[in-house]
Chain A
Amino acid sequence: MPVREIAGKTVEFDGEGFMVNPDDWTPEIAEELAKEEGIDQLTDLHWKVIEFCRSDFQTRGEPPTLRRITKAGGVPTKELFALFPKGPAKKVARIAGLGKPQGCV
Protein backbone atom coordinates (compact mmCIF):
# COMPACT_ATOMS: atom_id res chain seq x y z
CA MET A 1 0.00 0.00 0.00
CA PRO A 2 2.30 2.79 -1.14
CA VAL A 3 0.11 5.92 -1.25
CA ARG A 4 -3.44 6.22 -0.02
CA GLU A 5 -6.07 8.60 1.26
CA ILE A 6 -6.56 8.56 5.01
CA ALA A 7 -8.42 11.06 7.22
CA GLY A 8 -8.52 13.54 4.33
CA LYS A 9 -4.79 13.38 3.59
CA THR A 10 -2.74 11.57 1.00
CA VAL A 11 -0.12 9.60 2.87
CA GLU A 12 2.69 7.28 1.82
CA PHE A 13 3.01 3.88 3.54
CA ASP A 14 5.68 1.20 3.27
CA GLY A 15 5.01 -2.42 2.35
CA GLU A 16 4.29 -3.32 5.98
CA GLY A 17 1.80 -0.52 6.53
CA PHE A 18 4.03 1.93 8.41
CA MET A 19 3.92 5.59 7.46
CA VAL A 20 7.00 6.60 5.48
CA ASN A 21 7.09 10.20 6.68
CA PRO A 22 6.26 10.75 10.39
CA ASP A 23 5.66 14.45 9.65
CA ASP A 24 2.55 13.54 7.63
CA TRP A 25 0.96 12.19 10.81
CA THR A 26 -2.09 13.81 12.39
CA PRO A 27 -4.21 12.69 15.37
CA GLU A 28 -7.04 12.03 12.92
CA ILE A 29 -4.82 9.63 10.99
CA ALA A 30 -3.97 7.89 14.27
CA GLU A 31 -7.67 7.33 14.93
CA GLU A 32 -8.11 5.75 11.51
CA LEU A 33 -5.02 3.56 11.85
CA ALA A 34 -6.16 2.48 15.32
CA LYS A 35 -9.47 1.29 13.87
CA GLU A 36 -7.53 -0.74 11.30
CA GLU A 37 -5.68 -2.31 14.22
CA GLY A 38 -8.93 -3.22 15.94
CA ILE A 39 -8.99 -0.35 18.45
CA ASP A 40 -12.29 1.47 17.94
CA GLN A 41 -11.74 4.29 20.39
CA LEU A 42 -8.45 5.83 21.47
CA THR A 43 -8.62 6.69 25.17
CA ASP A 44 -6.46 9.13 27.14
CA LEU A 45 -4.18 6.24 28.06
CA HIS A 46 -3.73 5.32 24.40
CA TRP A 47 -2.86 8.95 23.68
CA LYS A 48 -0.35 8.99 26.51
CA VAL A 49 1.49 6.11 24.80
CA ILE A 50 1.21 7.63 21.32
CA GLU A 51 2.37 11.05 22.45
CA PHE A 52 5.32 9.57 24.33
CA CYS A 53 6.35 7.62 21.22
CA ARG A 54 6.13 10.69 19.02
CA SER A 55 8.11 12.92 21.36
CA ASP A 56 10.69 10.19 22.02
CA PHE A 57 11.08 9.77 18.27
CA GLN A 58 11.65 13.53 17.92
CA THR A 59 14.51 13.47 20.43
CA ARG A 60 16.10 10.09 19.64
CA GLY A 61 15.34 9.63 15.96
CA GLU A 62 13.97 6.11 16.29
CA PRO A 63 10.70 4.62 17.51
CA PRO A 64 10.97 3.57 21.18
CA THR A 65 11.11 -0.13 22.10
CA LEU A 66 8.32 -1.54 24.27
CA ARG A 67 10.59 -1.51 27.30
CA ARG A 68 11.38 2.14 26.72
CA ILE A 69 7.67 2.93 26.56
CA THR A 70 7.23 1.24 29.94
CA LYS A 71 10.38 2.64 31.55
CA ALA A 72 10.72 6.15 30.16
CA GLY A 73 7.08 6.55 29.17
CA GLY A 74 5.78 5.38 32.52
CA VAL A 75 3.20 2.95 31.16
CA PRO A 76 3.27 -0.40 33.00
CA THR A 77 3.77 -3.50 30.83
CA LYS A 78 0.37 -4.98 31.77
CA GLU A 79 -1.39 -1.76 30.84
CA LEU A 80 0.50 -1.42 27.55
CA PHE A 81 -0.47 -4.94 26.50
CA ALA A 82 -4.09 -4.34 27.56
CA LEU A 83 -4.31 -1.06 25.63
CA PHE A 84 -2.93 -2.59 22.44
CA PRO A 85 -4.06 -6.22 22.52
CA LYS A 86 -2.40 -8.90 20.44
CA GLY A 87 0.99 -7.30 20.22
CA PRO A 88 1.75 -3.65 20.96
CA ALA A 89 5.17 -3.59 19.28
CA LYS A 90 4.12 -2.88 15.72
CA LYS A 91 0.66 -1.50 16.53
CA VAL A 92 1.93 1.37 18.63
CA ALA A 93 4.56 2.43 16.11
CA ARG A 94 2.08 2.18 13.26
CA ILE A 95 -0.63 4.23 14.96
CA ALA A 96 1.95 6.82 16.05
CA GLY A 97 2.99 7.25 12.41
CA LEU A 98 6.51 5.96 13.03
CA GLY A 99 8.52 3.26 11.28
CA LYS A 100 8.89 -0.32 12.37
CA PRO A 101 10.73 -0.53 15.72
CA GLN A 102 14.34 -1.57 15.31
CA GLY A 103 15.17 -2.57 18.90
CA CYS A 104 14.69 -6.09 20.29
CA VAL A 105 13.74 -5.18 23.83
Chain B
Amino acid sequence: MAEEKNRHIAFICSKGSLDMALPALIMGWAALGNGVDVTIFFTFWGLDIINKKRVDHLEIAPVANTSFKFSLMGLPTGNLGIPQLMGALPGMTAFATAFMKKKIEDLEVPPVREYLQMLVDAGAKLYACKMTVDMMGLTMEDFVEGIQDIVTAGDFIDMTEGAQIIFI
Protein backbone atom coordinates (compact mmCIF):
# COMPACT_ATOMS: atom_id res chain seq x y z
CA MET B 1 0.00 0.00 0.00
CA ALA B 2 1.25 3.49 -0.83
CA GLU B 3 2.41 5.66 2.02
CA GLU B 4 -0.35 7.93 3.27
CA LYS B 5 0.05 11.47 1.93
CA ASN B 6 0.75 14.13 4.53
CA ARG B 7 -1.99 16.67 5.19
CA HIS B 8 -1.40 19.83 3.16
CA ILE B 9 -3.02 23.25 3.59
CA ALA B 10 -2.67 25.95 0.95
CA PHE B 11 -3.48 29.57 1.67
CA ILE B 12 -4.22 32.15 -1.01
CA CYS B 13 -3.49 35.64 0.31
CA SER B 14 -5.23 38.19 -1.90
CA LYS B 15 -5.38 41.18 0.45
CA GLY B 16 -2.63 43.46 1.68
CA SER B 17 -4.05 44.95 4.85
CA LEU B 18 -2.60 43.94 8.21
CA ASP B 19 -5.77 42.18 9.36
CA MET B 20 -5.85 40.12 6.17
CA ALA B 21 -2.15 39.23 6.39
CA LEU B 22 -2.27 37.71 9.85
CA PRO B 23 -4.75 34.83 9.36
CA ALA B 24 -2.56 32.86 6.93
CA LEU B 25 0.52 33.53 9.05
CA ILE B 26 -1.11 32.41 12.27
CA MET B 27 -2.91 29.38 10.84
CA GLY B 28 0.07 28.45 8.67
CA TRP B 29 2.38 28.48 11.69
CA ALA B 30 -0.11 26.41 13.68
CA ALA B 31 -0.35 23.93 10.80
CA LEU B 32 3.45 23.58 10.59
CA GLY B 33 3.61 23.07 14.33
CA ASN B 34 1.17 20.19 13.95
CA GLY B 35 3.16 18.58 11.15
CA VAL B 36 0.97 19.76 8.27
CA ASP B 37 2.57 20.87 4.97
CA VAL B 38 1.93 24.53 4.16
CA THR B 39 1.92 26.42 0.88
CA ILE B 40 1.07 30.12 0.60
CA PHE B 41 0.27 31.83 -2.70
CA PHE B 42 0.40 35.63 -2.63
CA THR B 43 -1.70 37.30 -5.29
CA PHE B 44 -2.94 40.78 -6.11
CA TRP B 45 -2.83 43.04 -3.03
CA GLY B 46 -1.57 40.05 -1.07
CA LEU B 47 1.84 40.63 -2.69
CA ASP B 48 2.24 43.57 -0.30
CA ILE B 49 2.75 41.01 2.47
CA ILE B 50 6.00 39.77 0.89
CA ASN B 51 7.06 43.06 -0.70
CA LYS B 52 10.25 44.28 1.03
CA LYS B 53 9.07 47.88 0.90
CA ARG B 54 5.56 47.13 2.14
CA VAL B 55 5.91 44.28 4.65
CA ASP B 56 6.70 46.54 7.62
CA HIS B 57 4.01 49.03 6.67
CA LEU B 58 0.81 46.98 6.30
CA GLU B 59 -2.12 48.98 7.60
CA ILE B 60 -5.68 48.78 8.88
CA ALA B 61 -8.09 51.43 7.61
CA PRO B 62 -10.97 52.45 9.86
CA VAL B 63 -12.98 53.65 6.84
CA ALA B 64 -15.49 51.10 5.53
CA ASN B 65 -14.61 48.80 8.42
CA THR B 66 -17.88 48.22 10.28
CA SER B 67 -16.09 46.39 13.09
CA PHE B 68 -14.16 49.48 14.12
CA LYS B 69 -15.95 50.55 17.30
CA PHE B 70 -14.92 52.96 20.04
CA SER B 71 -15.19 50.01 22.43
CA LEU B 72 -11.97 48.63 20.91
CA MET B 73 -10.21 51.36 22.84
CA GLY B 74 -11.77 50.18 26.06
CA LEU B 75 -14.52 52.82 26.10
CA PRO B 76 -17.93 51.75 27.46
CA THR B 77 -19.65 52.80 24.22
CA GLY B 78 -21.16 49.48 23.14
CA ASN B 79 -21.79 49.32 19.42
CA LEU B 80 -21.02 52.95 18.71
CA GLY B 81 -18.84 53.02 15.62
CA ILE B 82 -16.12 55.46 14.67
CA PRO B 83 -17.89 57.81 12.22
CA GLN B 84 -16.77 57.24 8.64
CA LEU B 85 -16.03 60.95 8.20
CA MET B 86 -13.77 60.85 11.24
CA GLY B 87 -12.05 57.75 9.88
CA ALA B 88 -11.36 59.63 6.67
CA LEU B 89 -9.37 62.36 8.44
CA PRO B 90 -5.65 62.47 7.68
CA GLY B 91 -3.71 60.26 10.08
CA MET B 92 -6.63 58.08 11.09
CA THR B 93 -5.37 55.01 9.21
CA ALA B 94 -1.94 55.46 10.77
CA PHE B 95 -3.53 55.85 14.19
CA ALA B 96 -5.74 52.77 13.77
CA THR B 97 -2.77 50.75 12.51
CA ALA B 98 -0.51 51.76 15.40
CA PHE B 99 -3.31 51.01 17.83
CA MET B 100 -3.97 47.53 16.42
CA LYS B 101 -0.26 46.74 16.11
CA LYS B 102 0.17 47.44 19.81
CA LYS B 103 -2.75 45.14 20.67
CA ILE B 104 -1.28 42.38 18.47
CA GLU B 105 2.20 42.85 19.91
CA ASP B 106 0.84 42.55 23.45
CA LEU B 107 -0.20 38.99 22.57
CA GLU B 108 3.43 38.19 21.67
CA VAL B 109 2.52 37.92 18.00
CA PRO B 110 5.62 38.73 15.94
CA PRO B 111 5.73 41.43 13.24
CA VAL B 112 4.80 40.21 9.73
CA ARG B 113 8.40 40.16 8.44
CA GLU B 114 9.53 37.94 11.30
CA TYR B 115 6.45 35.73 10.95
CA LEU B 116 7.27 35.09 7.29
CA GLN B 117 10.81 34.09 8.24
CA MET B 118 9.48 31.71 10.92
CA LEU B 119 7.19 30.07 8.35
CA VAL B 120 10.00 29.70 5.83
CA ASP B 121 12.35 28.27 8.46
CA ALA B 122 9.67 25.80 9.50
CA GLY B 123 9.32 24.57 5.94
CA ALA B 124 6.41 26.51 4.43
CA LYS B 125 6.58 27.09 0.67
CA LEU B 126 5.82 30.69 -0.33
CA TYR B 127 5.03 31.72 -3.91
CA ALA B 128 4.20 34.96 -5.71
CA CYS B 129 1.50 35.13 -8.40
CA LYS B 130 3.02 35.65 -11.86
CA MET B 131 0.16 37.64 -13.33
CA THR B 132 0.14 40.16 -10.50
CA VAL B 133 3.91 40.37 -10.47
CA ASP B 134 3.84 41.22 -14.19
CA MET B 135 0.99 43.66 -13.75
CA MET B 136 2.76 45.53 -10.96
CA GLY B 137 6.17 45.36 -12.62
CA LEU B 138 7.81 43.46 -9.76
CA THR B 139 10.67 40.92 -9.70
CA MET B 140 12.05 38.47 -7.11
CA GLU B 141 14.30 41.34 -5.99
CA ASP B 142 11.25 43.12 -4.60
CA PHE B 143 10.39 40.29 -2.23
CA VAL B 144 11.63 39.34 1.23
CA GLU B 145 14.00 36.38 1.46
CA GLY B 146 12.62 32.87 1.38
CA ILE B 147 10.10 33.20 -1.45
CA GLN B 148 10.42 30.05 -3.55
CA ASP B 149 9.41 31.36 -6.95
CA ILE B 150 7.02 33.37 -9.08
CA VAL B 151 4.44 30.92 -10.44
CA THR B 152 1.30 30.91 -12.58
CA ALA B 153 -2.17 30.13 -11.32
CA GLY B 154 -1.91 26.81 -13.14
CA ASP B 155 1.32 25.96 -11.31
CA PHE B 156 -0.40 26.70 -8.02
CA ILE B 157 -3.31 24.41 -8.89
CA ASP B 158 -0.85 21.65 -9.82
CA MET B 159 1.21 21.94 -6.66
CA THR B 160 -1.83 21.94 -4.38
CA GLU B 161 -3.47 18.78 -5.66
CA GLY B 162 -5.25 17.15 -2.76
CA ALA B 163 -4.54 20.10 -0.43
CA GLN B 164 -7.11 21.96 1.62
CA ILE B 165 -7.30 25.47 0.21
CA ILE B 166 -8.09 28.58 2.21
CA PHE B 167 -8.74 31.83 0.35
CA ILE B 168 -8.13 35.01 2.27
Binary per-residue interface labels of chain A (80-105) against chain B in the complex, 1 for a CB within 8 Å, 0 otherwise: 01000111111000000000000111
> Is B36 in contact with A105, judged by CB distance below 8 angstroms?
no
The CA-CA distance from A70 to B33 in the complex, in Å, is 13
Please classify the interface of chain B as helix (H, G, I), strand (E, B), loop, or mixed, using the class held by over half of its residues: loop
User: Of all chain A residues, which has the CB nearest B31?
Assistant: A87
Partner of A77, one of B35, B107, B121: B121
B122 to chain A: which residues have CB within 8 Å? 77-78, 81
> Is A67 in contact with B118, judged by CB distance below 8 angstroms?
yes
Q: How many residues of B contact A (CB 8 A)?
A: 18
> Is B34 in contact with A90, judged by CB distance below 8 angstroms?
yes
A78 to chain B: which residues have CB within 8 Å? 121-122
Tally of A-B Cβ pairs under 8 angstroms? 43
Q: Does A76 contact B (CB under 8 A)?
A: yes
User: Of all chain B residues, which has the CB nearest A89?
Assistant: B33
Name B112-131 residues within 8 Å CB distance of A.
Answer: 117-118, 121-123
A87 to chain B: which residues have CB within 8 Å? 32-36
A105 in contact with B34 given A76-B121, A81-B122, A81-B123 (CB within 8 Å): no
> Is A81 in contact with B121, judged by CB distance below 8 angstroms?
yes
* Contact-residue size bin, chain A (C-beta under 8 Å from the other chain): 10 to 19
The CA-CA distance from A11 to B78 in the complex, in Å, is 49
B110 to chain A: which residues have CB within 8 Å? 67, 105
> Is B26 in contact with A104, judged by CB distance below 8 angstroms?
yes
> Is A105 in contact with B108, judged by CB distance below 8 angstroms?
yes
**Shortest 10 CB-CB contacts between residues of A and residues of B:** A87-B35, A89-B33, A86-B35, A77-B121, A78-B121, A87-B34, A81-B122, A77-B118, A66-B33, A77-B122
